[in-house]
Amino acid sequence: MPYGRHRVLVTGGAGFLGSHLIDRLIERGDEVLCVDNLFTGDKSNIDHLTGHPRFEFMRHDVSFPLYVEVDAIYNLACPASPIHYQRDPVQTTKTSVVGAINMLGLAKRLKVPIFQASTSEVYGDPAVHPQTEAYWGNVNPIGIRSCYDEGKRCAETLFFDYHRQHHLKIKVARIFNTYGPRMHAADGRVVSNFIVQALKGEDITIYGDGSQTRSFCYVDDLLRGFLALMDTADEVTGPINIGNPNEFTIRQLAEAVVRKVGGRSKLVQQPLPQDDPTQRQPDISHARDVLGWNPEVELDEGLDRTIAYFREKLERS
C-alpha cells in the first residue's frame, strides 16, 4: 500500500500488538479505526490516543459483520495466549474463522488490501527446524491448543482462497513469540510471566525442564515487518515469517530475567502442558529477501525495556 494518508481499520487494536501498530500508523499520518471487543484487549493501551483527531475506537466483535469505509485492513483480532484462548475455545475459533470471513468480505466489498496476523503456531510442534514458510506443520487438530492453532490455519486458507477466487490483495505474516511493553501481565506467556514473578519476588514457574526453545522478537521489530509487508507490491502475499531467529531455552530466559531484576526468585518446575512445542525458531530468509527486514533489538535490550515497563506498572498498581 503506497504511502500517504489512509483510513486504516485495525481489529484487535486495543491489544498488545494492535495498540503499538496503531501508534505507528498514526505517526506516519494515517487515520485509524480501532475495533476491539475488549475480551483480552485493554483500553488503557489506547487511552493516550483519546481525543486524537485521526483516531476512533469502536467496541465490536469481529465474529459479527462490520460495515465501515476504510482504505486498508489489519486483522489482529484473536486471543493470543493459551490462558486467554483456552478460556472460551469455541469463541476463539469463531474469532479466527468467522472473523476472517467477515473481514475478508469487507475487504472484498471495498476492494482494499487486508493483512492477516497469523502465527508460528500454524507449525505446531515442528518436525522441521528452523521453520520455513514451506513447512506445513505438525498440529494436533483436537487438542486444547487446537482452537487457536487450527483457527489460524483455517484463516490462512480463507485468505488465500479469497485471493485466488476474488483476486483480493492479501498479506499474511506468521508471528513468532513477540514481547515488549503493553503485554498483559496475566496472559501466561513466558516473558511477562517471568518478569512479573521476578519483580514480585515470587518463584519463577518453568513448565517441563526448561529445555524447550523459543525465539523472542521485540515488538518494535515486529511492527517494522508488518508495515514493510503491507507496503510491498500486490503480488507479494506471504505467508512470511516475522520473528527473531536467535533461539533460547526457556531456562535461559528465566535466568536472564532473574539476573536483570535481582532478588532471590528460584526456578520451580511444573508439568509441561499438552502439545506445548519443544522448538520454535523462524527461518527469516524470505523476510530478508522480500522485505529487506531484519530484527534489530537483541533480547538483552528488549528485556531491559520490558522490565522497566512492568516495574512502573506494578509500582502504580
* Catalytic positions, written as ranges: 148
At 226, phi and psi to the nearest 5?
A: -55, -50
Alpha carbon distance 76, 288 (integer Å): 23
Alpha carbon distance 59, 41 (integer Å): 10
Strand segments (E) across the chain: 7-11, 31-36, 55-59, 72-75, 114-119, 170-175, 178-179, 204-207, 213-215, 217-218, 240-242, 247-249, 267-270
Neighbours of 237 (CB within 10 A): 18
Q: For cell 513466558, what's the residue?
A: 190
- Among the listed residues 249, 254, 256, the one whose alpha carbon sits nearest the alpha carbon of residue 280: 249
